[in-house]
């Protein structure tokens, strides 16, 4: 607030305005306690001094990131600072450590990507631009360092972005402390996935927001001792239950009801329909939301329920309950027959009652009785009391609110179980998302409760702000004991104090049935008529006004009593706990409360609200708070629109202006000493310039200006309100006087400049004239000299043409003669090779024909022998079959004889029937016995044992019959004969069985003999295969010897060219003993036993010799490998600029033929050695040494190795063993031969390279060496970045120190040189590091390609760090900072030029982003530049987002110039809007390149040839005989 003392003519001020809240103006005249002001709108006003606020003309165009830095901490400065930052898309602003977030109503993905989170990770609070990540990081670091739980309180009105801010906080916390155990989803994801469910059941449309949270949510992110997220929990507070049964136009009920009505598949199931037919929904005319489909939202809610673990049965039960609540609301009551009774109004109400009962799965009659009656319990018994229609309606609404509240609590518990809580967690970070202060045209009970919660939170906020002020004052060691603390405890006492608070009076009124809102209002007026915070409006009898911290709010008490009454009815609990639906019954578990007096229990909503609020405050008191105030810039939710009046109201409601008032009660203006002296040192330049102590200079300056009541801290000066304006008035006067002097001097300068310009123009004209004459003469002389030169070159061209023609003819003749001789020689060689091939094929055909003939004969013999055996077996089987046929014929004869005997017996019986009637029974028995005998005889065909038993039975029966009748004796004799015949048949069958067994044994023996013969044949075939393999190996050895012989003959031809043409046609065939054996073997039989024995004997001898040689070779190999590893471990240095270690490794591997071995351990030893050396030595010198060695080794391997199977020529095998042991043995025996034939071409010039066919171990070895090369390169690069990184941050921060130093230097000229030396020391340190690195790389002969790539990536890192720091820190984006960085870049450019392009490469181009950004900072008259000029000429590489960021953050601390024009800003915004859909185009930060920028092929092509012949052998290997080949090749 201004006073007459600090208001002068020409001063810039703020005055109140009805449309813009505050408008800027200029003081024209001052007098009589008023000031005449000309506003920017063109109006002239006379304003009292008490309503004027001074305006800081030196403030930055884009505002300040921390409003405590404002020179004038007042309401208009805060408002317009937010407006200016919002215009530039800077939506976050600090007020101390309080973050103000303005909703942009558009997507800004570049502010919330992973790269941005990495920038704010562990960054000191306030160092980077304000951001929600900074608050989250501060809370996380405080929790880790202090082991104290933290809380982040996010507040604001509906639509301000509280929920989105909460999501961002949880996103950052999940980034910082990922789960300590593996999980498919992070805690942050699980909590966010539950949002659709909570929004559907807890959010509703209000006057100001379409998706307003009607409950408070406190999300607890729990951490373990390692700082990892271990669990989470969601605590809900203060659900607005009355909204279920009562809403006002144009608001809506909770979203879930409208979503359910829009579900096409559930409407018929739950008998729903248009929401307009339901009483709980049609109280408002708003049923749809703009741009929102209720059906789609219903599907999203269903999917979210699946995600959080709610199964289909539970989902069906939930929506059944919602439908039941809707039907419950349509039940209407009318007066009954008895007094004060009620009944259903009509059939529609009965229909809805029936539907509600079915959905609740309870009895409809019991539900009706519960709604229409009340049970009163007395000593004598229960008394049922009828309810009138109004009481029944209240009873119905109470049931609906209770069911919905229980359902919401169940959902929250289910979500918490799904997320998972950690009971062992000791620290947490809580994020509170709660509705903000509300003040509408009509304010009811809901606004009263919400504002009570905000009053409580505001008290907590005020205590925190005052605590921060105390900490600031204590830190600076100033006296603050007399500063008064602004508190709102009187408002809280007015509302919740017992027994005379508003809530207590409201509960008292609700206890009396006959109380009305008029009696309640009268009671309030009587109790608080003298209270300063309570007022009674003049035009209303029931309204009352409370002066909250955010302003006065008038409440309508009409519905206070109804909304505060919340009955706990036992009948409701009993009814629903007995439901057949387990889910509904689970919502109402058995209660242990005493219900002996009444089934109705009064429950105060306001009291319960206060208790929950108190529990929330107790939870917050146990944590360290952090505050985020969300602001809604306009009521239309439009991007880029900032409504001053609306924002100002929210700042008051959010307590931001209350925090400003607390700051103003103390010392609102605080400046560091250097900033204060920079601003006001001009008031006494000579006096201040003599002081080297800034604090003493500040104190003397204030005393000289006659100021009092200020405080001097350790680093800052603290001024009371109004003192800054007084000093600015004096500063403005001094600047006006200085401006007059400057204008006078400037006019003189202009006149002198014009005179000098004309004089220079005259001299220039004369100069041009003389120059024209001289150029004319020079042109003539030049033409004459040119003609002479042309003649000379024409003569030379003619002579050269004749010479070339003659040389071409001579070359043609020579080429023809040489071609003739070469073709003749080639024809002879071709004939010789054809003859050899024909001989080879003929011998092969002859041997193969003999073998095929012998194999056919063997097979024929085997087939004949097997046929003979088969015929014998067939004969035996036929004989056996014949014997079996004879038995079968005998058996048939016996059967026939039995039949005849039976017939005869029957005839005798008939003849004697008359004579032997007494014996008829015995005769019948005999007939039955005969029939049984016949059956037993038939059974004897299969088993001889059963026939014998049957005969015994017949024999016994016949003996009985003989005793009875002598007539049957004859038949008995016959039966005995048959028995004897059966015995003879049995004997014959047994003999046949013995013969069959003998035949089977003979068959088994013959089969065994056949198997033995087959085994012998297979052994013979294996011997044949071994012989063939031996022959094949001998043939290969012969071909190798022939090829070596051919090489020797060619060398002989080179030595004696005169004899080459006569001897080349004579083939040389080496006759070895093995070859002779092969030739002789083709003439003898393959099955000659003498040859087999000789071969076996030779093979056994060779195997024993090979074992001895292998054992000896293994020992020699291990010794040689140890010697090689010992040599490699030492720093053997370089020989003729080539790394000795790499060359020795390659030559040894090549000499030992390790590249062609299938299995070898030497590669593993070398790789392990290199790995151990790198792990032990991580300094840049050692890394450079091994970078040179590995790159050279890769070059040699890439150039001289080829994968197996690449070449089309026949694969040449060595005559000895294919293993490394055998090859090393041969190398030890004849090192000179291998050295001359195997390695001579490799160690020589590049034209003589003979590539080696590499096996898999060699290819794997090359890949491992490549990996180590990339690893060494990466470690070296990271070491350089680690050394340069801190210096780069000092380079960015240096201009801030330089301004203080330069300000002192301006007062003390002797310090300028020292200051400049300090400023340039950081850049010199960087150059020193680069020089050291370059010298080490060159000393170790690292290939220039790798050096170039390394420095290119280092300069890219410098570019990224400087550029990102420039975009993230506003203080770095200044004119003087640009000049400082430009001077440092000039030094880097000089270093690049000195390093040459061979080593620096395109390093200068890697700095293009920071070069163009700095170039933009230091150009003058930015406002006159168009967007095309900036994007095409000044900053062609920078994107629109980057240019916009720099333009908005730029401030000229040296000349006070402005940034680009508003037209350019508008064009940039339009271009960014077009590209906003592309996520990659929205980011403005650069990413550091950590890839490997080269490939093996690129490295091979970029390196020069390595000649191994001039590499000296290390002293450690010179005395070892196995390594003499290294010296022979040198």
Q: Which residues are catalytic?
A: 158-159, 163, 209, 212-213, 436, 438
**Which of 1344, 1442, 1331 has the alpha carbon at shortest distance from 1394?**
1331
CA 1116 to chain centre: 53
Residue 980: partners with Cβ closer than 8 Å, 6 or more residues away: none
Rounded distance, CA 165 to CA 155, Å?
10
CA 740 vs CA 8, 679, 743: distances in Å: 18, 19, 5
The beta strands (E) that lie in 146-264 are given as 150-155, 203-204, 212-213, 216-223, 229-237
CA angle at 657 for the pair 656 and 658, rounded to the nearest 5°? 90
- Per the listing, tokens 């040192």 go with 681
Q: Exposed (0-12), middle (13-18) or buried (19+): which is 1388, by Cβ within 10 Å?
A: buried
Rounded distance, CA 1088 to CA 904, Å?
82
Rounded distance, CA 216 to CA 235, Å?
8
Do residues 947 and 935 touch, judged by C-beta distance below 8 A? Answer: no
Do residues 254 and 204 touch, judged by C-beta distance below 8 A? Answer: yes
- Per the listing, tokens 């509904």 go with 584
C-alpha atoms less than 13 angstroms from C-alpha of 397 in its C-beta half-sphere? 21
The H or E element that residue 433 is part of is: strand 427-433
**Which of 1458, 1445, 1420, 1299 has the alpha carbon at shortest distance from 1369?**
1445
Residue 1215: partners with Cβ closer than 8 Å, 6 or more residues away: 1036, 1037, 1040, 1041
Residue length of the chain: 1530
Beta-carbon count within 10 A of 644 CB: 19
- Per the listing, tokens 């015994």 go with 952
- What 8-state DSSP symbol labels residue 247? -
Q: Which residues pair with 236 in a beta bridge?
A: 217
Rounded distance, CA 533 to CA 547, Å?
5
CA 612 to chain centre: 39
Rounded distance, CA 1490 to CA 732, Å?
53
Rounded distance, CA 975 to CA 552, Å?
138
- What 8-state DSSP symbol labels residue 1212? P
The DSSP secondary structure of 568-627, one letter per residue, reads EEHHHHHHHHT-SSHHHHHHS----S--SSBSEEEEEHHHHHHHHHHHHHHHHHTSEEEE
Query: Measured on CA atoms in the order 63, 65, 67, 72, is the torsion positive or negative?
Result: negative
How far the first Cα of the chain sits from its last, in Å, is 93
- What 8-state DSSP symbol labels residue 1374? B
Beta-carbon count within 10 A of 777 CB: 9
Rounded distance, CA 1452 to CA 675, Å?
15
C-alpha atoms less than 13 angstroms from C-alpha of 1042 in its C-beta half-sphere? 15
**Which of 31, 80, 35 has the alpha carbon at shortest distance from 59?**
80
The H or E element that residue 385 is part of is: strand 382-386
Query: Measured on CA atoms in the order 1364, 1366, 1367, 1372, is the torsion positive or negative?
Result: positive
The token pair at 921 is 């029974």
């Amino acid at each position: 607030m201004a006073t007459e003392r600090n208001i002068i003519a020409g001063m810039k001020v703020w005055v109140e305005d009805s449309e813009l809240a505050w408008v800027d103006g200029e003081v024209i005249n001052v007098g009589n306690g008023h000031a005449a002001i000309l506003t920017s709108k063109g109006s002239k006003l006379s304003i009292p001094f008490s309503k004027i606020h001074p305006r800081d003309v030196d403030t930055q165009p884009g505002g300040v990131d921390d409003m405590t830095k404002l020179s004038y901490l007042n309401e208009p400065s805060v408002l317009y600072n937010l407006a200016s930052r919002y215009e530039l898309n800077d939506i976050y602003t600090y007020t101390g450590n309080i973050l103000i977030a303005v909703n942009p109503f558009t997507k800004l993905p570049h502010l919330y990507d992973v790269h941005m989170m990495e920038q704010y990770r562990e960054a000191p609070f306030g160092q980077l631009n304000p951001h929600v990540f900074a608050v989250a990081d501060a809370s996380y670091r405080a929790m880790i360092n202090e082991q104290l739980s933290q809380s982040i309180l996010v507040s604001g009105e509906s639509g301000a972005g509280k929920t989105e801010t909460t999501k961002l906080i949880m996103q950052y916390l999940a980034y910082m402390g990922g789960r300590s155990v593996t999980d498919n989803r992070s805690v942050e994801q699980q909590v966010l996935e539950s949002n659709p469910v909570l929004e559907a059941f807890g959010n509703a449309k209000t006057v100001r927001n379409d998706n307003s949270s009607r409950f408070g949510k406190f999300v607890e992110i729990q951490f373990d001792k390692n700082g990892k997220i271990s669990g989470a929990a969601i605590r809900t507070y203060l659900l607005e239950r009355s909204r279920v049964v009562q809403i006002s136009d144009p608001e809506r009920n909770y979203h879930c009801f409208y979503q359910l009505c829009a579900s096409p598949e559930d409407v018929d199931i739950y008998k729903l329909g248009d929401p307009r037919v339901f009483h709980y929904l049609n109280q408002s005319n708003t049923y749809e939301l703009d741009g929102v489909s209720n059906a789609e939202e219903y599907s999203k809610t269903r999917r979210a329920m699946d995600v959080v673990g709610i199964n289909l049965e539970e989902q069906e039960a939930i929506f059944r309950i919602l439908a039941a609540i809707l039907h419950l609301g349509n039940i209407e009551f009318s007066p009954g027959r008895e007094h004060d009774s009620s009944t259903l109004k009509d059939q529609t109400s009965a229909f809805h009652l029936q539907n509600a009962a079915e959905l609740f799965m309870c009895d409809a009659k019991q539900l009706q009785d519960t709604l229409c009656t009340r049970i009163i319990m007395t000593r004598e018994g229960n008394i049922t009391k009828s309810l009138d229609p109004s009481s029944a309606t209240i009873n119905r609404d109470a049931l609906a609110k209770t069911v919905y509240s229980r359902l919401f609590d169940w959902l929250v518990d289910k979500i918490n179980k799904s997320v998972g809580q950690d009971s062992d967690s000791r620290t947490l970070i809580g994020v509170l998302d709660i509705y903000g202060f509300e003040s509408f045209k009509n304010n009811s009970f809901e606004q009263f409760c919400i504002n009570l919660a905000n009053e409580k939170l505001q008290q907590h906020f005020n205590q925190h702000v005052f605590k921060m002020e105390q900490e600031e004052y204590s830190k600076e060691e100033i006296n603050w004991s007399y500063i008064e603390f602004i508190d709102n405890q009187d408002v809280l006492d007015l509302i919740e104090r017992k027994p005379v608070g508003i809530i207590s009076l409201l509960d008292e009124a609700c206890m009396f049935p006959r109380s009305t809102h008029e009696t309640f209002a009268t009671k309030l007026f009587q109790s608080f008529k003298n209270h300063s915070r309570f007022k009674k409006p003049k035009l209303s009898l029931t309204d009352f006004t409370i002066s909250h911290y955010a302003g006065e709010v008038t409440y309508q008490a009409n519905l206070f009593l109804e909304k505060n009454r919340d009955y706990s009815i036992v009948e409701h609990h009993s009814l629903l706990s007995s439901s057949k639906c387990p889910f509904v019954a689970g919502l109402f578990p058995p209660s242990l409360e005493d219900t002996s007096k009444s089934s109705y229990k009064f429950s105060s909503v306001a009291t319960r609200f206060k208790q929950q609020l108190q529990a929330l405050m107790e939870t917050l008191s146990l944590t360290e708070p952090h505050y985020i105030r969300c602001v809604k810039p306009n009521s239309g939710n439009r991007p880029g629109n900032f409504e001053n009046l609306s924002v100002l109201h929210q700042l008051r409601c959010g307590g931001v202006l209350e925090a400003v008032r607390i700051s103003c009660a103390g010392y609102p203006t605080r400046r560091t000493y250097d900033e204060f002296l920079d601003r006001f040192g001009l008031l006494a330049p000579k006096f201040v310039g003599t002081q080297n102590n800034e604090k003493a200079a500040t104190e003397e300056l204030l005393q000289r200006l006659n100021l009092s009541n200020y405080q001097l801290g350790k680093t800052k000066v603290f001024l009371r309100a109004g003192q800054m304006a007084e000093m600015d008035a004096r500063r403005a006067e001094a600047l006006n006087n200085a401006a007059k002097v400057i204008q006078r001097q400037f006019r003189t300068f202009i006149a002198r400049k014009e005179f000098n310009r004309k004089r220079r123009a005259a001299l220039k004209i004369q100069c041009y004239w003389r120059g024209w004459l001289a150029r004319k003469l020079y042109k003539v002389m030049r033409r004459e000299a040119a003609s002479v030169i042309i003649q000379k070159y024409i003569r030379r061209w003619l002579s050269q043409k004749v010479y070339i023609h003659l040389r071409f003819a001579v070359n043609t003749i020579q080429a023809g003669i040489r071609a003739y001789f070469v073709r003749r020689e080639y024809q002879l060689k071709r004939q010789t090779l054809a003859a050899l091939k024909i001989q080879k094929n003929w011998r092969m055909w002859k041997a193969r024909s003999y073998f095929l003939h012998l194999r056919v004969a063997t097979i024929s013999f085997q087939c004949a022998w097997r046929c003979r055996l088969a015929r014998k077996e067939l004969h035996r089987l036929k004989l056996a079959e014949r014997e079996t046929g004879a038995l079968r014929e005998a058996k048939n004869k016996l059967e026939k004889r039995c039949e005849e005997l039976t017939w005869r017996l029957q005839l005798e019986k008939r003849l004697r029937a008359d004579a032997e009637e007494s014996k008829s029974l015995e005769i019948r028995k005999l007939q039955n016995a005969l029939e049984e005998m016949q059956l037993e005889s038939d059974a004897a065909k299969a088993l001889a044992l059963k026939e014998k038993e049957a005969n015994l039975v017949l024999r016994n029966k016949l003996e009985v019959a003989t005793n009875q009748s002598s007539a049957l004796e004859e038949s008995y004799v016959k039966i005995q004969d048959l028995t004897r015949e059966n015995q003879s048949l049995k004997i014959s069958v047994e003999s046949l069985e013995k013969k069959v067994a003998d035949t089977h044994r003979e068959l088994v023996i013959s089969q065994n003999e056949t198997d033995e013969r087959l085994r012998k044949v297979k052994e013979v075939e294996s011997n044949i295969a071994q012989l063939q393999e031996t022959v094949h190996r001998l043939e290969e050895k012969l071909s190798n010897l022939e090829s070596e012989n051919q090489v020797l003959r060619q060398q002989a031809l080179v030595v004696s060219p005169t004899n080459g043409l006569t001897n080349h046609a004579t083939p040389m065939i080496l006759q070895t003993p093995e070859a002779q054996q092969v030739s002789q073997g083709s003439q003898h039989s393959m099955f000659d036993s003498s040859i087999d024995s000789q071969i076996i004997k030779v093979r056994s001898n060779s195997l024993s010799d090979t074992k001895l040689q292998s054992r000896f070779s293994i020992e020699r190999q291990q010794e040689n490998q140890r010697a090689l590893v010992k040599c490699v471990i030492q720093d053997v240095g370089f020989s003729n600029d080539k790394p000795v270690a790499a060359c020795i490794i390659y030559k040894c591997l090549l000499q030992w033929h390790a590249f062609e071995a299938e299995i070898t351990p030497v590669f593993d030893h070398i790789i392990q050695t290199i790995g151990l050396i790198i792990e032990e030595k991580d300094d840049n010198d050692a890394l450079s040494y091994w970078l040179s060695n590995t790159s050279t080794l890769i070059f040699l391997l890439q150039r001289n190795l080829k994968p197996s199977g690449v070449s089309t020529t026949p694969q040449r095998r060595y005559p000895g063993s294919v293993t490394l042991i055998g090859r090393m043995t041969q190398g030890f025996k004849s090192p000179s031969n291998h050295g001359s034939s195997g390695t001579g071409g490799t160690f020589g010039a590049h034209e003589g390279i003979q590539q080696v066919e590499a096996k898999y171990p060699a290819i794997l070895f090359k890949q491992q060496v490549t990996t180590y090369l990339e690893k060494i390169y990466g470690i070296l690069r990271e070491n350089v970045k680690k050394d340069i990184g801190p210096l780069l941050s000092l380079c960015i921060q240096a201009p801030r120190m330089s301004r203080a130093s330069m300000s002192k230097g301006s007062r003390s000229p002797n310090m300028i040189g020292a200051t400049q030396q300090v400023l340039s020391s950081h850049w010199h340190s960087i150059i020193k590091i680069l020089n050291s690195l370059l010298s080490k790389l060159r000393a170790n002969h690292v290939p220039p390609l790798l050096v170039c790539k390394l420095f290119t990536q280092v300069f890219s890192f410098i570019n990224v760090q400087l550029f990102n720091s420039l975009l993230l820190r506003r203080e770095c984006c200044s004119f003087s900072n640009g000049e400082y960085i430009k001077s440092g870049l000039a030094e880097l450019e000089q270093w690049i030029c000195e390093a040459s392009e061979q080593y620096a490469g395109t390093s200068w181009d890697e700095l293009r982003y920071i070069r163009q950004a700095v170039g933009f900072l230091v150009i003058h008259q930015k406002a006159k530049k168009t967007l095309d000029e900036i994007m095409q000429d000044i900053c062609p590489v920078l994107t629109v987002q980057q240019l916009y960021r720099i333009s908005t953050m730029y401030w000229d601390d040296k000349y006070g110039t402005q940034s680009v024009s508003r037209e350019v800003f508008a064009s940039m915004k339009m271009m960014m809007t077009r590209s906003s859909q592309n996520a990659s185009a929205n980011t403005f930060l650069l990413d550091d390149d950590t890839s490997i920028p080269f490939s093996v092929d690129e490295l091979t092509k970029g390196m020069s040839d390595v000649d191994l012949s001039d590499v000296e052998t290390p002293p450690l290997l010179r005395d070892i005989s196995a390594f003499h080949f290294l010296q022979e090749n040198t």
